A and B are shown apart, each in its own frame.
Chain A
């Protein structure tokens, strides 16, 4: 295995000064010259919309792409709970330093310190920017912004807009995007999917897209490409992600030379509505903010089939409060999820399937009144009732962990550039800031930090060294990539087998959940590495896709994404097998403390694993970026 060092380009100097120094020393592009550079922004979620709008404001030529019929519908819209920022409006001891510290610790010491510090630094500006755009954040009676607390933190630093924070932040970024569209400065391609990244002499020079309505393949040349295409949680089939969320853009980039970092770092969110049947198409998150007031419990006795209201107090086990007295129900997600699974494994699970735990609001309702609880969580309670037909004001919610977020993603340096020059990755698509576990309300923060405040500076540094050279779509690399993409879609259509795409996706999901899910061990991971390629082979010989490619063909779209998931799943299992330690969301059964907490191995694994593609049926090559913790001392996480 090669030990080639990846250059993370972390600026010199004390951590508090790195970003300012870097901004100062990065070369500027003269305003008149900016319009000569063209940037393709793929994805219009928080990361993509904010980047596209800001870069256009600066004067660059921007084109944006998304799968949905409007940029406003990107998956970011579904975020509920809130966005963190180190404003310390609540005067409870928050600071940039504390947010930085909480994030490094929450990520179980597998994130790059310099990036995390920058994230904490720009977090406050995000809230300012969003308020100026007309995002209707929750306010108190004095007219000032309200905050709530989230898991993994002991301060209240989370800003929110009812239970629709992602929606409001995205609509803010989308309105900025449309503002630039109205000036004719951004062109948006909706229902248009990236199918390949085009490289010339190793540098990203454009993309190939497929128009979802006409089936047409198109070439787009540019000076830089930004992938803001979200996470890959749907590799598990069932997740809280939207149906179209996918890994394909990142995966095609990986195949073109971008390294994929920490693919096995996935987040299983503790509070989701449990699975109810075979036809279930997705899982619904119940925001983590509910853990502010809800108490998690299971019956003390195994196989207790009584209704929750019939189980007396002294026969309930509020296990999070018992095991983690100082954080209680607000332990980080990975800890909460693992503990729920442990209770279910002990036979104490509740509900029809026995695969759930209770989240109970009885005490909060008695303490604060039903109205107060409704004001805080009304829309979530309504959603829960609509789905389950149970009234959470009366009976406790049943919840269970579900796949939610992927910390892994394309490896990027401090400038958010991948290992392919000119190709950048922002938002959930990159691996950068959350280490092995993301804290609640930090993904929205990171997406907007990347788009509004980081890339506008760092891309200038790249352009200063790479001035426009007139290369356009006529370069033969575009024709070659276009034909390659076309042939993949033609190949999919030509299989003409007997089994619908969803079947393969569901099967892959089962393998992933079973062996690369909440608890992983060597034996299971080896099984996954054996079974996934077999399933992939079956897919390519038996998938059935009716219809043609030159029209709307939903099955074909799905098939192309599932084909990529079938390769990515294997890489995730390989990465999980290679990382023989537990950290954050990656729990190796072989590596735990006597109290069953994740046990890190800093000696051997204090690094980022960045994988290089070597062919679909060959083992990928691992590269290491060593992580140095100069400011937050490496220590075993404790939330007790």
Chain B
């Protein structure tokens, strides 16, 4: 074992299935290199469990590059753990110290039920998108891409909002489990572009209504969402969405 390697105590939420109760369970892992990612550390634990014939800890992950939005995890009470603007899969063990106790829980929100252990169901986000998170253009209809110039400033702001990976950290870290940051990022991305402007207020109203219907909470300006967002999505998007929403509600669009 190299000098810097660590021994860690883990407290992990185990829940066999959606309908069953869950509980925290203690585990130990040893010889963890600081260069490992958090998920690689959990891989080590899982190999140990499998070798003993026990059920490995289930968690969502795929790209392990911080872009697919599949990984989640509340780590010591923080969505995606202690490092700023970093998804769980990009969090590295050098952020922890030998002997640390790490508490790992799933996202907790009414709209994100736990499926097993640390894996939750986020299909509510897809439903919100299908309520209006698109531009109504069919393939084949598009004019030349340079036919409509877009100011660099707006294109950049739109891209800032579009960077959302749909992981749900905003919901998990909000005491109301509100999805406002997620919804407003999509509304903003489109309302900043001439192509998306056309349906903008209608989109805001439809998406917000859907969000409410699915059991997400209200926004009370806690700003925890922005703080926990691994992509640094700004809450100024929420203000932009509220403007679109107000216009939409007044005009009945």
Contacts and interface: CB of A to CB of B under 8 A. Distances in A.
Given A141-B152, A544-B50, A387 B92 contact: yes
A130 B152 CA distance: 17
Contacts of B56: 546, 554-555
A441 to B, nearest CB: 16
Contact of B123 (A78, A144, A190): A190
Interface string A440-454: 000000000000110
B68 A68 contact: yes
A134 B189 contact: yes
B36 A279 contact: yes
A72 B53 CA distance: 34
A351 interface: no
A596 interface: no
Contact of A277 (B35, B66, B70, B151): B35
Contacts of A72: 69, 126, 129, 166
Interface stretch (A25-33, A176-184, A601-609): A176-184
A130 B143 CA distance: 11
Contacts of A546: 49-50, 53-56
Given A175-B134, A242-B62, A552 B159 contact: no
B135 A132 contact: yes
A134 B47 contact: no
Contacts of A452: 139
B143 A128 contact: yes
A72 B144 CA distance: 26
Interface string B133-153: 111111111111110111110
Interface in A156-178: 161-162, 164, 166-168, 171, 174-176, 178
Given A77-B68, A78-B63, A452-B139, A144 B166 contact: no
Interface string A113-152: 0000000000001011111111011111111110000000
Contact of A140 (B131, B139, B152): B152
Interface stretch (A280-288, A395-403, A531-539): A280-288
A127 B90 CA distance: 31
A377 to B, nearest CB: 15
A178 B94 CA distance: 40
Nearest to A138: B155
Nearest to A85: B145
A281 B149 contact: no
Given A69-B122, A279-B33, A243 B62 contact: yes
Interface residues of A, number: 80
Interface in A527-576: 544-547, 551-552, 554-555
A234 to B, nearest CB: 12
Interface in B106-131: 115-116, 119, 121-123, 125-126, 129-131
Contact of B139 (A129, A242, A279): A129
A185 to B, nearest CB: 11
A554 to B, nearest CB: 6
Contacts of B67: 77-78, 164, 166-167
Contacts of B35: 276-277, 389
Contact of A552 (B33, B115, B155): B115
Contact of B137 (A71, A132, A502, A551): A132
Nearest to B66: A383
A304 interface: no
B90 A387 contact: yes
B189 to A, nearest CB: 6
A326 B21 CA distance: 65
A243 B64 contact: yes
Interface stretch (B37-45, B174-182, B215-223, B234-242): B37-45
Interface stretch (B74-82, B96-104, B190-198, B244-252): B190-198
Contacts of B70: 68-69, 73
B64 A282 contact: yes
A70 B55 contact: no
Given A178-B126, A500-B47, A161 B159 contact: yes
A68 B129 contact: no
A54 interface: yes
Contacts of B54: 546
Given A69-B121, A243-B64, A386-B86, A128 B159 contact: no
Contacts of A136: 155-156, 158-159, 162, 189, 193
Given A277-B33, A279-B36, A383-B90, A68 B139 contact: no
Given A139-B150, A282-B64, A134 B195 contact: yes
Contacts of B66: 383
Interface in A240-256: 242-244
A150 to B, nearest CB: 18
Interface in A449-503: 452-453, 456, 498, 500, 502
B81 to A, nearest CB: 12
A188 B125 CA distance: 14
B23 interface: no
A323 interface: no
A403 to B, nearest CB: 15
B76 to A, nearest CB: 19
Contacts of A284: 64-65
Interface string A17-56: 0000000000000000000000000000000001001100
A75 B64 CA distance: 11
Contacts of A190: 123, 126
A213 B133 contact: no
B58 interface: yes
A631 interface: no
A494 to B, nearest CB: 14
A135 to B, nearest CB: 8
Interface in A379-410: 383, 386-387, 389
B65 A281 contact: no
A186 B73 CA distance: 31
A243 B61 contact: yes
A136 B133 CA distance: 15
Given A179-B130, A546-B56, A89 B146 contact: yes
30 contacts: A69-B122, A73-B62, A73-B63, A73-B68, A77-B67, A77-B69, A87-B145, A131-B145, A132-B143, A132-B195, A133-B134, A134-B135, A134-B196, A136-B158, A136-B193, A137-B145, A138-B155, A141-B152, A143-B149, A167-B163, A174-B129, A175-B129, A242-B68, A243-B61, A243-B62, A383-B90, A502-B43, A546-B49, A546-B50, A546-B55
Interface of B: 16-17, 33, 35-37, 39-40, 43-44, 47, 49-51, 53-56, 58, 60-70, 83, 86, 90, 92, 94, 115-116, 119, 121-123, 125-126, 129-146, 148-152, 155-156, 158-159, 162-163, 165-166, 189-190, 193, 195-196
- List 10 tightest A-B contacts by C-beta distance, closest first: A143-B149, A175-B134, A132-B142, A131-B145, A128-B142, A178-B130, A136-B159, A182-B130, A136-B158, A179-B134
Given A139-B151, A167-B67, A279-B43, 6 more contacts: A70-B125, A75-B68, A131-B195, A142-B149, A175-B134, A389-B35
